[in-house]
Structure 1
């Protein structure tokens, strides 16, 4: 049986003009429920020092199954709401695992 490997996601999220503070507040609302998700090893929200509209959401998970479960969870319905409300201008998601 293959041993499970930790995985990480990085999401670069750009706020729509004038909506960065709102986006940041909503992203920070994800911290506690994300950290409480089974398999979550770490979860962070950061704002770019060079671009006030750019946010970075990072999470580390015990394995791919835990991360996939999180992505399918109701917690992430927030992103659909933010896109619909035009708070998010763009979302660029990357996932990484052990090489």
Structure 2
């Protein structure tokens, strides 16, 4: 089966005062993704205060993205990030909106 490139974008609204902690967790996620086979691009675009951060990625195909999400380190980091968000009073994320994958 032939797979086409896939892109994703995640909008993140960090809570004031928690940008550094959230940024460190996302940096780990981005670094791991960049090393994954099939990752063409992964980056965090931080905007001005009050604007969402954008976590953007581009993958060789859907299979490469799914393989990355299935890795133990990706799953563990996702769990740590979610746990950290929930553990803070009010959380470090105000809202998390995930766009659907766009086929390039």
Same fold (TM over 0.5): yes
Residue pair 1:43, 1:58 contacting (<8 A) in 2 also: yes
Are 1:93 and 2:98 matched, yes or no? Answer: yes
**Per-residue Cα deviation, 1:8-62 (whole angstroms, up to 9, x for no partner):** 110112223421121112211223221110110111011122526x321111001
Separation in structure 1 between the aligned mates of residue 97 and residue 67 of structure 2, nearest angstrom: 19
Higher helix share: 2
Is there any run of 5+ residues in structure 1 with no aligned partner, and where? none
| 4+ long deviations beyond 6 Å | none
- Per the alignment, in what secondary structure is the counterpart of residue 83 of structure 1? helix
Aligned to 1:65: 63
Gapped regions of structure 2 (runs ≥ 5): 86-91
- Whether the 8 Å contact between 2:13 and 2:53 is mirrored in structure 1 is yes
Q: In 1, distance between residues paired with 2:19 and 2:83? A: 15
Q: Does structure 1 residue 5 correspond to structure 2 residue 10?
A: no
Q: What SS class does the counterpart of residue 30 from structure 1 fall into?
A: helix
User: Number of paired residues?
Assistant: 96
Q: How does 1:22-37 map to 2 (within 5 A)?
A: 22-37=21-36
How large is the RMSD of aligned CA atoms in angstroms? 2.0
Q: In structure 1, how many angstroms separate the alpha carbons of the residues matched to 2:38 and 2:24?
A: 24
Once the two structures are TM-superposed, the CA of residue 91 in structure 1 deviates from its matched residue by 2.0
Higher strand share: 1
